[in-house]
A = this chain, B = another copy of it.
Amino acid sequence: MKTIHIGILGLGTVGGGVVRLLQENGPMIDARLGARLLVKRIARRRPDAPTPVAVDPALVTVDPMDVIRDPAIQIVVELIGGTEEARRYALEALKAGKHLVTANKALLATHGLEISRAAAERKVDVGFEAAVCGGIPIIRVLRDGLVANRIRSLLGIINGTANYILTKMTEQGRPFTEVLAEAQAKGYAEADPTLDVGGHDAAHKLQILASIAYNTFIGLPQVPVEGIAGIEPADIRYARELGYVVKLLAIAKHTDGELEVRVSPTLIPEDHLLASVRGVFNGVYLVADAAGPQMFYGRGAGQMPTASAVVSDIVEIAANILAKRPSRRATLHLPGVQGELALKPLEEIRTRYYLRVMVADKPGVLSKVAGVLGNHNVSIASVIQKARHEQEAVPIVMMTHEAREGDLRAALAGIDRLDVVSAKTICLRVEES
């Protein structure tokens, strides 16, 4: 049996998981591959710190270049995290002619094109299944399983922290800050939660998913992002009264020859499959032109789910090495495949909206608000006007029919200028399918 030598950069949670998985399921994985996978060197910054898994100290080095320069190593697994150091060593590994496996979505989102080009130049592979949705093999699904399909739309719950927080807010009626603090205490949220609750991590992943699904490279600044910090229990409650739940959705849609991409808290019908994706779980719901609607569900993070995805990439690349097969997936972006899809400007998208307008409880107020909407071509599908309290602001909750985002924004600006309106209007998009 042949041996394929692997080098690992970073022995943190995921690195430890990869080593553990190769130890525990090694014989089965080797039999499936038809070759032996051997971890030959591991770089870690603090070689004397306790390891998350038993590792032969002789394999460990402080210098990632010791791993990259090892002539026997054919696959380098980058699990350092961050973007600057990771970028440097990823590029060094590719330049040295090594295949690269990474779980680093921030690296791909910020330096993906540079990495793709470096890999293409040396005709080596880059595996990044672990960068999106942890253990769910969504990259393979899009690239291989649905290869014959155009993806009409893709809706993803792809940030476990945000979904955990929204799930707790929904099921327990608690405010954002309180649930966030609890999530931080439990280790489900970082001390600085901005990347997760601000929607930026979801945007990183959406950028990768949309690049694969639509064969077009999307730059991170092109993805409009809204986070969940402004969501109040009241909005979750009103949404539920209307038959919806609030989820942080990453959305990509192919409409009228243009591509829409965005991340925002969104209302989805309570009987939508994505509404069942609770807690830290991830789910990707997509509509493919031939295969129809599909959903993929699982753990989007965590040591062993992420290790599962990393090892699946190692096995695929090892199989290619054994077959002396040319690289197939070196680029995130396959230029020219279905033309460069233009991105639809955010103000041009059309969708339904949930609005909560805080108004003085006086006769004629609804008519004023409705008038502004009407003047901007936004029509109202339903209204809930909540209990009357003398001299206090009361909410008018509305669902609009489909409207143009630009018109809706102009209407909102007009509404918030009305003297009967007492606070900035809350606006959430609604997905029906």
Contact surface of A with B, Cβ cutoff 8 Å:
17, 21, 25, 28-29, 31-33, 129, 134-137, 140-141, 144-150, 215, 271, 273, 276, 288-299, 302, 304-305, 307-309, 311-312, 315-316, 319, 323-326, 328, 334, 336-338
User: For A147, what are the chain B residues with a Cβ–Cβ distance below 8 Å?
Assistant: 29, 32-33, 311-312, 315
CA distance A32 to B61 in the complex (A): 40
Given contacts A291-B305, A296-B297, 18 further A-B contacts (CB under 8 A): A25-B290, A28-B150, A28-B337, A31-B334, A32-B147, A137-B140, A144-B316, A147-B311, A148-B308, A290-B308, A291-B309, A292-B304, A293-B299, A294-B298, A295-B295, A295-B298, A323-B323, A325-B325
Cβ A148 vs Cβ B291 within 8 A: no
The verdict on A135 contacting B28 (CB below 8 Å), with A129-B145, A326-B323 known, is no
Q: How far is the CB of A424 from chain B (nearest CB, A)?
A: 36
For A302, give its contact among B292, B294, B311 (CB under 8 Å). Answer: B292
Secondary structure of the A contact surface, majority rule: mixed
Q: How far is the CB of A24 from chain B (nearest CB, A)?
A: 8
The verdict on A141 contacting B150 (CB below 8 Å), with A290-B25, A290-B307, A297-B295 known, is no
Cβ A334 vs Cβ B32 within 8 A: yes
Cβ B31 vs Cβ A311 within 8 A: no
Cβ B140 vs Cβ A144 within 8 A: yes
The chain B residue sitting closest to A148, CB to CB, is B311
15 A-B pairs, CB-CB below 8 angstroms? Answer: A28-B338, A29-B148, A32-B337, A135-B290, A147-B311, A147-B315, A271-B276, A290-B311, A291-B298, A291-B299, A291-B304, A292-B302, A296-B296, A296-B297, A323-B325
User: For A137, what are the chain B residues with a Cβ–Cβ distance below 8 Å?
Assistant: 140-141, 144-146
Cβ A293 vs Cβ B304 within 8 A: no
The chain B residue sitting closest to A18, CB to CB, is B148
Cβ B312 vs Cβ A25 within 8 A: no
User: For A325, what are the chain B residues with a Cβ–Cβ distance below 8 Å?
Assistant: 323-325
Q: How far is the CB of A331 from chain B (nearest CB, A)?
A: 12
Q: How far is the CB of A147 from chain B (nearest CB, A)?
A: 5
Most buried by B among A33, A290, A326: A290
User: For A302, what are the chain B residues with a Cβ–Cβ distance below 8 Å?
Assistant: 292
CA distance A295 to B292 in the complex (A): 16
Q: How far is the CB of A239 from chain B (nearest CB, A)?
A: 19
CA distance A312 to B308 in the complex (A): 23
CA distance A293 to B32 in the complex (A): 22
Cβ A292 vs Cβ B299 within 8 A: yes
CA distance A323 to B146 in the complex (A): 21
